[in-house]
Amino acid sequence: MAFQVTKTISPAEVAEKLKQGETLYMVDVREPNEWAAGHVEGANHIPLGQLGERLHELDSSAEIIMICRSGNRSGLACELLSEKGFNVVNMTGGLNAWTSELV
C-alpha cells in the first residue's frame, strides 16, 4: 500500500489531552477480547473487521483518533477511513506504549 498516515499522535499526547479534560473522539479497532482486557476510557469500540459496515456509527465531522495494540491495525483503519473522507489520526505505538490507566 502506498498510503501513508500523515496525522499521528503519541499515546502520551492522548493521555495528556484526556488529563487536561479535552474531549477526544477515539475508536479502538482491536478485537472484543482485547477490548475487554482494557481500553482507554471514553473510546468507542469497532473491531477493524467490522469498520467498513459500521461507518454510519462514526461522526464524519470530528477528528477521530484510531487506537489498536501496536499502531498497525489503527493505521489500516486510518487508511480505510481517510479514503472515505474521514479526518483520522493514528495513535502510534498503540496500547503497547500506553502508560496511563485503562478501564
Is residue 68 within 8 Å of residue 80, measured between CB atoms? no
68 is catalytic: yes
What is the Cα–Cα distance from 61 to 86, expressed in whole angstroms?
Answer: 8
Computed from CA positions of residues 5, 100, 21, 39, in that sequence, does the dihedral angle turn out positive or negative?
positive
Q: Which of 66, 68, 76, 81 is catalytic?
A: 68
Q: Hey, what's the cell of 76?
A: 489500516
Question: Which residues are designated catalytic?
Answer: 68
